[in-house]
């Protein structure tokens, strides 16, 4: 009887070991496969970003971004169906070349406006701090040069439009909004400019652990900043700006909305562009 029990125990232990080994092998293979898929995906994306000056590759990236945005919206349908409904209603009424006054008011409400609030033309940029195109536009200081030349007739605002595929973009946007809440509004744009400048190219993004250090260097209370960022206190603000962009049919970044504040007529300008081209569009909208 004891021998029988001993054999049964050995067999049970053997079966348990076999099952555990099998599960370990399956899990290892799964993780290895996932890692390979991620590496391949990252390499493909990196390759496309390195060729940003090729028009066909830029169009490919725009389509990828468009699909990412649609995926993101699909995920929030159950959480906030009222936002999806509002977007669809706005997109169905897209026949006019002038902004609705309510849309314009909402865009500028609680938004930091650089230079004169009474300027004839407003440039509202929708951007993603992990977007290589956006980084190029900011590190070349394209809009800043235009602002310096047109201080009286031009003002500027930054809107966050973080794409889901950019793993740190959402937290970077929330961090910038935390700085805006806890400091002077101009520090908000300074914080964003620093993230763009310090972010490495070639698919190596800004380290999330450094966001707090950067805020502290700008005299933002570290404890309050960490509480704001870690508890997602500005997540709703970032989501609102993303939705504002979708209401305007924005599909990629960077995209600038150029508005005549007298007539409410506007143009939407996408992709990385040069200063001269942007200036000519501003002049046209000014008429």
Per-residue pLDDT of 193-232, as tens digits, reads 999 998 876 556 788 999 999 999 999 999 999 999 999 9
Query: Model's pTM, two decimal places?
Result: 0.68
**pLDDT digits (tens), the chain, 287 positions:** 445 455 666 666 767 677 667 666 666 655 555 555 455 555 555 554 444 444 455 566 666 666 666 666 666 666 666 666 666 665 544 445 778 878 888 898 888 899 888 899 999 999 999 988 888 889 888 989 998 888 789 999 999 999 888 889 999 999 999 999 999 878 999 999 999 998 876 556 788 999 999 999 999 999 999 999 999 999 999 999 999 998 888 888 899 999 999 998 999 998 767 888 888 999 999 98
3-state secondary structure (DSSP) of residue 267: strand
| CA dist., res. 66 & res. 68, Å (int) | 5
* Alpha helix positions (H), 51-201: 55-76, 81-92, 101-108, 132-139, 142-149, 169-182, 185-198
For residue 5 the two structure tokens come to 């029990």
pLDDT in the model for residue 48: 47
> Cα separation of 225 and 220, whole Å?
7
| Predicted pLDDT at 36 | 54
Dist CA 246 CA 227 (whole Å):
29
Strands 121-127 and 154-160, how do they pair? parallel
What token pair was written down for 150?
């047109």
Predicted confidence at residue 54, as pLDDT, reads 42
Structure confidence at residue 30 (pLDDT): 55
Query: CA angle 46-47-50, nearest 5°?
Result: 85
| CA-wise closest residue to 87 among 104, 73, 71, 72 | 73
Please return the burial class of 5, using the count of CB atoms within 10 Å of its CB with bins 0-12, 13-18 and 19+. exposed
Which residue reads 């590190």 in tokens? 139
Return d(Cα 269, Cα 248) in angstroms, integer.
12
Q: What is the DSSP letter of 52?
A: T
Instruction: Look up residue 38 and give its two tokens.
Output: 């991620």
- 202 token code pair: 């070639």
For residue 197, report the phi and psi dihedrals to the nearest 5 degrees. Answer: -65, -40
């Amino acid at each position: 009887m004891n021998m029988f029990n001993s054999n049964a125990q050995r067999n049970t232990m053997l079966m348990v070991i076999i099952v555990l080994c099998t599960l370990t092998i399956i899990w290892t293979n799964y993780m290895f496969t996932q890692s390979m898929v991620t590496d391949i995906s990252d390499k493909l994306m990196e390759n496309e970003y390195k060729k940003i000056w090729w028009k066909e590759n830029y169009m490919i990236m725009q389509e990828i971004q468009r699909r990412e945005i649609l995926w993101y919206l699909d995920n929030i349908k159950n959480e906030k169906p009222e936002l999806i409904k509002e977007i669809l209603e706005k997109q169905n009424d897209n026949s006019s070349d002038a902004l609705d006054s309510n849309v314009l008011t909402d865009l500028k409400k609680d938004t930091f406006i650089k230079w004169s609030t009474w300027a004839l033309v407003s440039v509202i940029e929708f951007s993603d701090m992990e977007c290589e195109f956006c980084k190029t536009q900011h590190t070349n200081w394209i809009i800043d040069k235009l602002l310096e030349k047109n201080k009286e007739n031009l003002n500027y605002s930054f809107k966050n439009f973080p794409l889901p595929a950019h793993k740190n973009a959402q937290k970077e946007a929330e961090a910038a909004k935390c700085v805006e809440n806890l400091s002077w509004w101009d520090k908000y744009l300074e914080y964003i400019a620093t993230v763009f400048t310090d972010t490495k190219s070639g698919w190596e993004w800004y380290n999330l652990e450094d966001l707090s250090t950067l805020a502290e260097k700008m005299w933002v209370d570290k404890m309050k900043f960490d509480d704001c960022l870690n508890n997602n206190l500005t997540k709703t603000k970032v989501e609102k700006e993303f939705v504002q962009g979708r209401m305007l049919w924005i599909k990629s970044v960077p995209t600038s909305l150029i508005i005549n504040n007298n007539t409410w007529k506007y143009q939407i300008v996408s992709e990385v562009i040069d200063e001269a081209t942007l200036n000519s569009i501003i002049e046209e909208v000014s008429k």
